[in-house]
Each structure stands twice: as C-alpha cells, then as structure tokens.
Structure 1
Amino acid sequence: MRFTDGFWLMRPGVEAHYAREAYEARVRDDALVVTAPTKAIRTRGDTLNLPVLTVTVAPHIPGVVRVRIEHHTGGGEPVRFETAPRSGGSVTVEPDGTGVVTSGGLEARVTPGEPWNLEFRAGGRRLTGSGHRSQAWIRLAPDAQVDPPPVELGLGRTYVHEQLDLGVGTLVYGLGERFGPLVKNGQTVEIWNADGGTSSEQAYKGVPFYLTDAGYGVFVDEPGHVSFEVGSEAVQRAQFSVEGESLQYFVIAGETPAAILERYTALTGRPVEVPAWSYGTWLTTSFTTDYDEATVTSFLDGMRDRDLPLSVFHFDCFWMREFQWTDFLWDERVFPDPEGMLARLHERGLKVSLWINPYIAQASPAFAEAAAAGHLLRRPDGSVWQWDLWQAGMGVVDFTSDAAVAWFQEKLRVLLRQGVDALKTDFGERIPVDVVYADGSDPRRMHNLYAERYNAAVHEVLEQERPGEAVLFARSATAGGQRHPVHWGGDSTSTFASMAETLRGGLSLSLSGFGFWSHDIGGFEGTPAADVFKRWVAFGLLSSHSRFHGSDSYRVPWLFDDGDEADPESATSVTRRFARLKNRLSPYLLAAGREAAETGTPVMRPMVLAFPGDPTARPLDRQYLLGPDLLVAPVFSAEGDVELYLPAGTWTQLLTGERVTGPVWRRERHGFDSLPVYVREGAVLPIGERDDRPDTDHLDGLVLVAFPGGDEVREVRVGDAVLTVETTDEEVHATGPEGRWSLRVGGAQQAAEAGSAHLRRTAEPAPGDVLPEAR
C-alpha cells in the first residue's frame, strides 16, 4: 500500500506518525526495548499528547535478529507463524546510549537521539537499516485516498509500516510464488493468497519473506495481509505494511543467497525428504474429462504399450460424485470396486494419488455431519458460513479446531487404508474473513495461514499411515508450508507464455524456502498445440516433480501425435526420452532432495542462487539449475530457438557431449527431442542403470560420470551410501561400497573392484558419449 504523495507529502486522509528518535534504550527480558517518540523531545512538555512507538530488538537464532514495532499493546499477542525457539545472542547498551544486539555474525545497532537510526551489520559492513521516516504508525480517515487492499478486505483505520533501505544495485527476490519478473524491484506485492491463475498478479502461495543479493533477507512475521512496496513508492527502500497496531519482522544475514535460505528455513522449517517414487512420471485423469476404471486402464495400457515409464496415477475431482465434493466417498456409479481397483493399480507397480480440498458441499452427508459437530467455519451469528462458488452450499473446514482436524484426518485415513498413497491438496485460498474460528483467531490473520494448517493436517495423517513415504501435491501455501512437500504451480494456460510464467513462479517460490516444485505439463486450461505440449514435456520432466494434467482434455502423449509415434520428435517419443532420462537421474535428484531437507537449498535453483558472484546470472528467469550441477534452459518456441547464458567454466551438453567454455551467451536451436542441458565442470553425476522407474537399488549398476574441470574431492551420495571421487588434471579415482557400480570418464569406463575405480582422463568425450547406455 502507498501512503505518500511523492517524497514530501502524504496522500489525502493519511496521518503518519514516524519514529523520530531513539529516546531511551533499555535491556529487558534479553531484548533491547527502545522508546521511539514520533516527535523530537526537546522539553518535558514534548512528552505529552503524542504517539510513541515501542521498538523491541532481540537476537533469535544465530544470524537472525527479531524486530517488533508496537503502537498500542493492549490488543494482546496476535497469532504468528511457527518459528524456531530463540537461542543465544547478546544485548547491551553502551555508555553513550547505543543499543547493540548481536546474533551470530549479525549485529543490530540503535543510535540514540535524532534522527531515528536502526542499522544492521555483518562482516564489518552495513547490510541495511531503518532510518528517517521509515517506521510509522499510520491513521487513515474513512475517505483516505490510498491504494485499496485486496478485494476481500476493506480499508483499515490504522497501519504500521517499516522501510529498510536498498543499497545501490541491490536486487530483491522471493515473496512466494509470483508469476511476474523474478527480480521484485519496482513491484507492489500483496501477500494475500488468492485463486487467480498463473497469468495474474495474484498468487496461491504468498510468503512474506524476501532475500537480496546484498547479504541479507527479511521475513515479516505477519500471517495476515502484508503489502510490500519494493523500491516502488520509496525507490531507495523496501517497505512492508500491515493493518493494526504492531509489526514484527526478522532480519536474516547470509554471505550468499543460499546461506540466507539456510537460516530462513532453520527459522521457519525445512521440507522432509520425499520418496524416490515421487520423482517419477505422474499421469492424471485431468479435471472435467469423462473417466472410469476402463478409461484409466486404457491410459495405463497405452503407456505400457508405448514403453512410457509411469510411477503415479492421479484421480482428480470426479472420483467423487458431482455436487458432493469433498465427501471422501468414491462415486460408485463409475468406481464400484475402489479397493479392487487400487489393488490392480498397485499390481502394475503404480502409486495412487487422490484429489481433495477443504470445502464440504451441502449435498454431501459429510456436510450435515461436520456442521452438527461444529467442524465448519461459522458466521458471527453462529450459522455455518456457506456460498455457491465451486460447490453448491459448500462450507469450509475449521482447522483451528482439534476435533475438526481429527474428523478430517479420519476421513482420509479410510482412503489411505483402502490403498491410496498420496493426496493432492487443492484449494485453501478462498478463505473468507467474515467468519468466526473455533479458537478465536482473527480471520484476517488466518486467511493465508489457513493453507498451512490445512496442509499440515493432511501431511500429518500421511506420515502416520505412510511413514517415510508422505507426499502431498499442494497448491496453496504460506511461510512454513515448505515443511509439507510437494507444491505445484496452479492453473496455467496451454501456451508458451504461460509456460514461461509458470517457471518464473517456481523459481520465485524456490527463493522463498520451498524445496520441491511441480506444474501441469502442457498447461491446465485449454488443449495445448502439439509444439507447446512437447516443449513443456521436456521442461516438466526436468523439474523437481513431473505431472501430466489438464482441465477439460486428457494429457496422454499419443493424443498429440500428428503422425508416426516412432518419429523421435513425436510427443510419444519425446515423453519416452525425457521420462527415461529423469528416471536415470533419480539418484542425483534424491541427493538434491536430501540437501533440500538438510539445508533448505531447493532442488530447482535459480541462477542467482547457484552463481551469486556472477552479475549476469542475477536476473535470469528462463533457465535454472536442477540440483547442483545440471543447467536447464527450457525452449519456449515452436521453432526451437533458445537463448541461454553459461557462467564461467567448462560446460558439457548432457545430451550431445559438446563442450563449451563460459562465460558466454549462446543462441541455440533444438528439435522437440532436445533442449539445452549442460553439466557443470568438475561434476560427478550418478546415473542409475534402470530407466523404467526411479525407485530401485541405485547402487546396482550405478555409473559415476566425471566431467572435465576442477581438482578436488567430491562426495556423491546415493541413498545412504557415500562415494568419494578425487580428480586431478590427469586422473580420476573413486571409492565406495563394494557392488556393481562403475566410474566413467569420457569414453572410458571401469567397474569398481573392491569398492574402488581408477581412470585416466580422456581429453574430450565423443559426441553422444556422455550418458552410458541403459542396460
């Protein structure tokens, strides 16, 4: 939200009270508590009749400092995000009155007197700070002429905002899943979850956290509506504002974006590892298409007959009867024997996913059951909140009620015990604010947080019923939602432009702490042209997770073939090529997934995350690293033209063996069966032997492929095994567990003997000789 009219004036109806000075700083409860009057205090009389801000600065966890700005405190402690408990740090007031808070390598200093100055420093340099006219309590007249908040919200009467300065050239990233430019400078970003599709400024996953390329990130610990002005209203600053009387945020230091993410996810939580089978190909019924078990079987037979690997089959909404979603009951007209059908799918080696959402239609017996028990959100008059959008007369499950959570989970437990393996948790964004929650939570603060409560409840029951195998396929989220993977990008259209915006959303989400991400291959709305479908297949099967899904048309590849399916550039052949490639990369992807769980580094990595020291890489949003070593540049055109950037070093094209020296911009043209996939110099890529599925014994027949460049020792994790590879200019030596694994350098390959292999490097791999043949 914007409150000013240019640099000097306020907008009509806006009354701003800025922190003018640090009048007094005290140490209280291991925190620095600063009295910040909104006028300079010259005489005793100046202390009368004015708003005062209380600013509390405290260490939280190493490298993280918490700041709370409060006007009136009588409203009690509002609901906030779940964060790690405080540990360590120090708080002092120096003889001159300067308050100093230290946490790890991060220091916050409040300078006494006028003007107001809160500064954050690390490594001997200033990171950012809150200065003159930065912290404010805002009062609005009923007719104030300010930008309106999101449509569900009326204009509030009071707001609190903070502004942290941006250094020259500092770039800002994150703020959840945003489909516009990856760099957020110059943008207004409203953190308010909405079901707006990928072609809008709205987002399914609003996360009030941004990171910069200047050594710090900022997490605004406010689960309700947060409005960000990123170098927009005040072009030298990032502003964030919330309605009410207080605002809390954390400053997070880190020498690199990856280090910032590591600390941010230590604060808000990291994802659990997901099972190997989840990295395989997912196929769905699509949304409104007609299907029954015979249709499903025809899809599966078609995939098998065309030698197309498949790991998961997903049933979308119409596994239940129309007008009754979500009632957790199979539609017996089309699925009369669900247990038998699930068993038959398992016999094919498949996992099964089911669509659910947290809305209960009035026609379902579950509605009356939930309403009578008090499990649904209610209006202030005590009646159940209902509307007709999506499902007629639907109500919304109240996840602040322990009883409602247990009721919802028990419904899911029945399905899991029937044989369902994973759950697609759709929706969770259309959450009303004119309601009463069971625990008395402020509905405005619960709007975004609802997604986290919903997904946490489902993930918990999956962990109980499928220990070590829990997988969601979630659309909505907010801060902390990364703890419950996987997330997908929402409703895109079937166009190249939407494919690109989908990628931008995923990269933005990756820079917001989310480790695993997917999207609808081919786009959701409409039926993609064959060229769009095939380009999206290559992109989708080189993403963290890969799902074919659409709205009113099927997404089986052979429906997009105009001619011979055996043609290498047919949709069927392209799907086969990249699905099999991904399965062979599963040991590599599993290691990247474990890294996400341990450090918060996402599987799909924006270029700024992988190459923070390269200014050219910082704004790039049409390419990414998949794991630590594979650079992928999807093709967004029918003709196959693509422009990409390779940072410094030697890069090897995974699909051809071509060697390229960077830094360099390249223009390439690719057929439908190809795209730029480059391997970083010095990489050691674990390639699985089997290409029909991702969940196998990866050590059995594993090949370690060592790429030119670098003299170092690298550890390669394959499951619980660690293989060590030492490289020099002339030789490569690998050690690991005894078994049927081997080492490959260029065209030479040697099987491990007694757990070790040793090869001399060849000067150049032959074209097409990078990937060992599957056996």
Structure 2
Amino acid sequence: MRFTDGFWQLREGVSALYARKAHDIEAKDGRLVVTAPTKVIETRGDTLNRPVLTVTLSAPIEGVIGVLIEHHTGGRIHEGFDLPGLDPTSAAGVASLDASGGTLASGDLVARIAAGEGWNLSFERAGTVLTTAEEKSVALLDVAESVALDGQLEDQLRRHRGGGSQRYLHQQLNLGVGELVYGLGERFGPLVKNGQSIETWNADGGTSSEQAYKNVPFYLTNRGYGVLVDHPGHVSFEVGSENVERVQFAVAGERLQYYIVSGDTQRDVLERYTALTGRPALPPAWSFGTWLSTSFTTDYDEQTVNSFIDGFAERDLPLSVFHFDCFWMREFNWCDFEWDPRVFPDPEGMLRRLHERDLKVSVWVNPYIGQRSPLFAEAAGQGFLLQRSDGTVWQWDMWQAGMGIVDFTNPDARRWYQDKLRALAAQGVDTFKTDFGERVPLDVRWHDGSDPEGMHNRFAQLYNEAVFEVLQEREGQDAVVFARSATVGGHRFPVHWGGDSASTFASMAESLRGGLSLAFGGFGFWSHDIGGFEGTPDPAVFKRWVAFGFLSSHSRFHGSRSYRVPWAFDEEAVDVTRVFSKLKMRLMPYLYQRGVEAAQTGTPLMRPMQLEFPDDPSVAYLDRQYMLGGDLLVAPVFSETGEVEFYLPEGEWTSLLTGERVTGGRWLRETHGYQSLPLYVRPGAVLPWGARDDRPDYDYHDGLQLRVFPGGAGRRSITVTSPDGTARTYTADLEEPTE
C-alpha cells in the first residue's frame, strides 16, 4: 500500500499522524512502554484532542525483541500467528531507563528509544546499529474512500471492511547502504527484494506472477537481523520502493506487532526465527526417493498405474512413492474420500499389491467438499462448512460445482475431516498431497469467531496441521505431506512444492527462485514438478529439469494433462533419470543428515548461496544456483544448448561428476550434456557416500564410504544418521585426499 506522492507529499485523500516523540517511557516487567504523541507537546493544551500511539517493547526469547504499536486498544484485535517459542508469561529482556531514554536488552540485541523530541528507536547488536526507526517511521494513516487503492486486492479488502475511509498503521525501518532484503515467502521474481512491492496474501496465481501460494511476512537482510510481522492477514510491504531508504510494512486497523530477530549470520537469524515459530519435522527417509504421479487430469486406472511402475522397474529406475492425483475420486465428488469404483473396484487389494512392491502410496486431497459429494449434506447439516453471515453455507462453482469449504476452526469439523483421512490410512494410504487452500473467501463467518481477513492465510496452516496430525498418529511412521499453500509456521509440516509452473526453461528458473525465497522463511524441505506442470515439456526441458529435480530435497514427476514418465519423451530421458535418481540414492547419507540438521536448527536443506557465504559479496544476487546442504553446489542448466554460467566461491572445488578440480573465487561458463551439470564439492568436504543406488531408506552405515576432497587440512569429523535413528561419528584425514 503506497501512501505518499513522492518524498515530500502524501497522496491526495491520505492523512498521516506520526509518532513525534517519546513523551514518557516506563520500564516494567522486563518491558518498555512508550507513550508517543502525534504532535510535539509544547504546552499542556497540546495534550488535548490529539491521538497518541502506545509502543511496547518486549523480549519473548533471547536475541528477539517484539514491538507492539497500538492506537485504540478497545477494538477487535487480529490474532497473531501460532508461535510455539513464544511464552507470554516469561520475559527474556532487561529494561532500564536513564536521562537519554530507555533500553531493552535481549541477549546481545538491544533496543534504544530516545527520550524527548524526534522519534528515534534503534536496534543494536554488539554495539553495531542494525536498523533504526526515525522521523515519520511510525504512522497512523487514514485513507479516504475517494483514494484509488493499489490493485484489485486492496479494493477487495476495502469492500470487505465496509468501504469508506480506511485506517492503517505502518512502520518503516531504515536500510543501510548496500543492505539487501531476502525472504517474504515464496516469491518468483528476483531473489533480492529491494525495489519490490509485495502483498502477503495467499493466492492461486501460478509461478509466473507476483502472487504466491506461500506468503510469509518475514524478511531478513545481509546485516544480521530479520523482521517478522505478526499479522496473519494482509500485510503490504514496500521494500526500498516507496521510500528507497526504508522497508515499510503496513496493516489495516489499530494494532501492529512485529519482532526483530538478530544473529551473527543469516543462518543464525533463521535458527532464532525457527526457535520462535517452530522447527520443521524430519521427513521419513523413503520420502526423499522418487515420487511418480498419475498427473492431474489424465485418464488412468490400476492397469495404467502398474504399467508405469513396471516401466520404472524394467528400466532400472528407482521408485519410492506412487501418487494418485484427483481422479482417484469420482468426478464432481471432490472430496468424498472414496475410490472411484468404476476404475478402482478393489482399492484395499490394489494398495496391498503396491505395498508388496515396496512402494508407498500418496493420494491427493483438498479442503473443499463439492455439492454432489455425499459428504456435502453431512458436513453442511452439522455446521462443518464455512457459512455466510445469514447462516447459509458459503458456496461457489469455481473448482467444484457448488463446493463448500471445511471450517477447521470448528474442532468437530476438524475431527470429522481427519476421520475421513484415517479411513484412507487404514486402507493403506501412506501420505497425502494437500492441494489448494488459497482461495479462502472473506464474506464468511468462522466457527470460532475469527476475523475472515486474518483467517485467509492462516487457513493453510490449520488445514495442513490437521492432515499432518493424522499421519503422525500412525505408529512407526514419520509424517510427511506434499503441501502447496502455507504461511508462517507452515515449515513445521513438510514437504512443500512450488505450485503450478509452465513447462519451460523460464518457469524452471522462476521455480528455483521461489524455492530459494521460501528457504529464507525456514522451509527446510522443498520440491517442484519435474518437467513443469502446465503443458507438455519438450525433451530438452524435461531432461534438464530431471537433473534439477533429483538435486532437490524431494523429487516428484507430475504434470497437468500429460504423463511425466521419462520414456514418454525419449530414451535419453530414461538414461538421465537413471543417472540422477541413482546419484541421489548414493547421496542419501549426506542428504538425510542435512535433513536432521534442518529439523534441529532450521537451516534448510536447499540453501541460497547467501546463507553459506555471507562474507562473499559476489553471491548477494545469485538466484540460479544453490547449495544442497553445506558441501554441494548445484547450478541447474536452463538452456537446451547446455550452456550455463555460475559462480564458485573461493577455494579449490571438485566436480562430483568428473573429479575435475577448479579454482574458485570467479565466474565460470561451461557447456553440459543432459547427463551432467555443474555439481561441485566444497573445498575440504568429507562426503558420506552410500552403498546403495536403488532406494533412499537403507542402513547408511552398512558399506558407507567417506569421500575426502581437497582444500582442507587436519582431521574432520562428520555425523551420519541412519533412517532408524542410529547416529555415528566418522573422522577423516584431510591431509591425504582420497576417495
């Protein structure tokens, strides 16, 4: 939301009242409470007929400081996100006052509020100023009905709020020279967010738009801090755009809460952020293997399924999971959670036969109930579907005719939905693809009275959590879902995939940008549709995407109206799939351990270069390459010719595929065939190399090799954790590079 007309003026129809000074500062219960008049108080009469803002500083956990800005406190308050690390009964901060103002220390992070005229709130770490909020940074704004709002979304929200004048609060935080901003969820544009306007509002817009399925109002910068806006509704960000010296975030209403999260590096910031919002669960080892899908709207039956599975076996292609997309249920019945008896007359027998072939089974679900589904009347009659203000069921015809939406704020509706999934799990279903969850309406009332705007993004969290719980209940099985929509905390329920991409090189690149951007929000495990979703890729796109797909945390073949079995493209596609799927199986001791690390620390498995090389300015803008764990650099090929340009940081790197040693600290241009790509091992790495190439879930200690690469010295210890939880530490001598 833009409020200004250039640097000097407000837009016509916009009025703003700014926090002008810290009139008084109180220190109590480990907090600072600041009364901030919106006028410089010169006489006692200036205290009359004048709004004030109350700014409260708190410290929920060490290294984190919360800022709450309030105007009127008697109105409806947006509930914040579910933050498992937040304990409202404890205070990690030390508040103090002196003649210059107040300070709140939370570990090595310190907030300072200056007393007297001139609003000045600064955040420091180890004596270094991270960012500041100065004059005109905190504002209470009224936007007249006559003002043309920025975009369709703002117009929609204005109508929902009742039209008329709209009230907002905004905070601006200064950007330093050379300071770069990352994150804000899954965004498909440039990885560096400076200069962008971003609306955090979940939408089903594909990967080629400014919309996103996974909106996370958290960003971090290259200056040792991040910012979480604790507002599950619409948050409007202007990142060095409206005011190029500042990041601005604005919300509608009378209350704005955000947290400053500090750390030595961006990885440290993520560790603290995930301590606050929760750590990702560790997916089971089998989930790291190949997922094969029926695709979206294709025709298939058990014979089709078996032909695909046989085709993989005959061609010596590892396969771990078979996924049934939407037409496992009868058309117009989505969802009734019943196998279509016309094509699957014996689902229990079929699932048993798939398990006998050592496969896991995934089925597609969504949170909607079509009117033709036998479950619609059942759910509507018990009040389990979202309702309009008049008590009727909210329905529309987009997606499924007359569909309603399950109200997960109703505990009975949640259990009802979960019971349908439990029945499928009892049949033999191992996991669920939790599709959709973005098109959540505003003209509804929720069972628990939640504000519809605040529930729009949170719905995805409730939906995925409900499904994840069902899978966690199964004795002896770790839970994993394949989820599309998410918001803050969604990373606790992996895995997420990048949504509907086109079958082109450009879309392949934008998918990677989305995944890297999402990683800055603590999402440890991420996937994408190999070959792209919309359309049918030509063989070149498919083969290049295969290499990228198997060098991601999770690997799934999936499309829209056409199959994605490799032999549907050409025989070389089969060879490429064999090479890279077997390579991933060999890498499983390494990949699974990096997954353990993600679950323990919040550091994602697929890492933007900026997380691993924070002191190398050359990586600041890189979004066509990434680190797979800490020791493997991957640069996917986004061209038919095989030409690729990438950057190697300092040191002597080794190609994992050829053994060639290359000196880093420079850009390289290479040309690769379809069975190759830039895949370089970090200097001095010790890579645990598995003994099997046919499956992901084996005993990694049995036959384990340690591949030692040049560039280090002395001895290095690494830990390898097997799928059964057995962890062992191995030591390698880096002075004598061997394999």
**TM-score range, shorter-chain basis?**
over 0.9
Aligned counterparts of 1:243 and 1:90: Cα–Cα separation in 2: 29
8 Å Cα contact 1:310/1:350 also seen in 2: yes
Secondary structure in 2 matching 1:573: helix
1:441 maps onto 2:450 in alignment: yes
1:592 to 591, 594, 616: 594
Match of 2:105 in 1: 102
| Alpha-carbon distance, 1:701 to partner | 1.0
Q: Tell me the distance in 1 between the aligned counterparts of 2:463 and 2:383.
A: 17
Q: Deviations over 1:267-303 (max 9, x none)?
A: 0011111111000000000011100000000001111
* 1:173 matched to 2:182: yes
Q: Is the 8 A contact 1:451 1:476 kept in 2?
A: yes
Q: CA deviation at 1:57?
A: 0.4
Corresponding residue of 2:542: 533
Q: Distance in 2 between matches of 1:557 and 1:163?
A: 50
Q: Quickly say closer, same or farther: Cα 1:304–1:152, change in 2 above 3 A.
A: farther
Contact 1:504 1:621 in 2 (8 A): yes
In structure 2, what is the equivalent of residue 408 of structure 1? 417
- 1:81: which partner in 2? 81
Aligned partner letter, 1:85: L
Q: CA–CA distance in 2 between the matches of 1:49 and 1:724? A: 71
Alignment pair present for 1:638 and 2:630: no
Q: Counterpart amino acid of 2:125? A: A
In structure 1, the partner of 2:45 is 45
| 2:733 is the counterpart of 1:724 | no
| CA deviations over 1:466-521 (Å, ceiling 9, x no partner) | 54421100000000000000000000000000000000000000011100000000
Q: Which residue of 2 aligns with 1:342?
A: 351
- Structure 2 residue runs of 5 or longer lacking an equivalent are none
- CA deviation string 1:45-72 (max 9, x = no partner): 1101111100000111010000000010
Does residue 92 of the first structure (1) align with residue 89 of the second (2)?
no
Quote the Cα distance in structure 1 between the aligned partners of 2:624 and 2:106.
Answer: 37
Q: CA RMSD in A?
A: 1.1
CA drift at 1:721 = 2.2
Aligned partners of 2:684 and 2:734 also within 8 Å: no
**2:29 touches 2:91 (CA, 8 Å); kept in 1?**
no
**Any idea what SS the aligned residue of 2:118 has?**
coil
- Give the secondary-structure state (helix, strand or coil) at the position aligned to 1:713: strand
Distance of aligned partners of 1:25 and 1:97 in 2 relative to their CA distance in 1, 3 Å threshold: farther
The match for 2:711 is: 709
Q: How does 1:714-753 map to 2 (within 5 A)?
A: 714-719=717-722, 720-729=726-735, 731=736, 745-746=737-738
8 Å Cα contact 1:129-1:164 kept in structure 2:
yes
Partner of 1:650: 652
Q: Hey, what does 2:501 align to over in structure 1?
A: 492
Of 148, 155, 158, the match for 1:154: 158
Q: Measure how far apart 1:723 and its partner are.
A: 2.3
Q: Distance in 2 between matches of 1:310 and 1:679?
A: 26
Partner of 2:63: 63
Amino acid at match of 2:434: T
Change (3 A) 1:399 1:691: same
Unaligned runs of 5+ in 1: 732-744, 748-775
Distance 2:98 2:137 in 1: 26
Aligned pairs (5 A) from 1:224-373: 224-373=233-382
How far the C-alpha of 1:114 sits from its partner, in A, is 1.3
User: What TM-score results when the alignment is normalised by the length of structure 1?
Assistant: 0.93
Contact persistence 1:413–1:465 (CA under 8 A): no
CA distance in 2, matches of 1:383, 1:433: 15
Shift in Å, 1:93: 3.6
Give 1:710's aligned amino acid: G
What's the % identity of the aligned pairs? 65
Q: Which amino acid aligns with 1:476?
A: S
Q: Deviations over 1:175-221 (max 9, x none)?
A: 00000000000000000000000000000000000000001000000
Structure 1 partner of 2:624: 622
Q: Is the 2:519–2:604 Cα contact (8 Å) retained in structure 1?
A: yes
Question: What's the offset of the Cα at 1:92?
Answer: 2.8
1:152 positional shift: 3.7
- Give distance in 1, aligned partners of 2:732 and 2:504: 45
Q: Is 1:134 paired with 2:137?
A: yes
Instruction: From 560, 563, 588, give the equivalent of 1:554.
Output: 563
Tell me if structure 1 keeps the 8 A contact 2:229–2:259: yes
SS in 2 for 1:540: helix
Change (3 A) 1:124 1:95: closer
Paired amino acid for 1:723: T
Output the CA distance in 2 between the equivalents of 1:263 and 1:377.
Answer: 36
**2: CA distance, partners of 1:362 / 1:81:** 32
Alignment: residue pair count: 726
CA contact (8 A) 2:214 2:486 kept: yes
Amino acid across the alignment from 1:92: A
What CA distance in whole angstroms lies between the structure 2 residues aligned with 1:90 and 1:387? 49
Q: CA deviation at 1:149?
A: 5.9
SS at match of 2:184: strand
Which stretches of structure 1, 4 residues or more, deviate above 4 A after TM superposition? none
Distance in 2 separating the partners of 1:531 and 1:200:
24
Supply the distance in 1 between the matched residues of 2:399 and 2:157 (Cα, whole angstroms).
21
- Which of 420, 429, 432 is the matching residue for 1:423? 432
The answer to whether the Cα contact below 8 Å between 1:32 and 1:91 also exists between their aligned partners in 2 is no
User: C-alpha distance in 2, partners of 1:97/1:709?
Assistant: 52
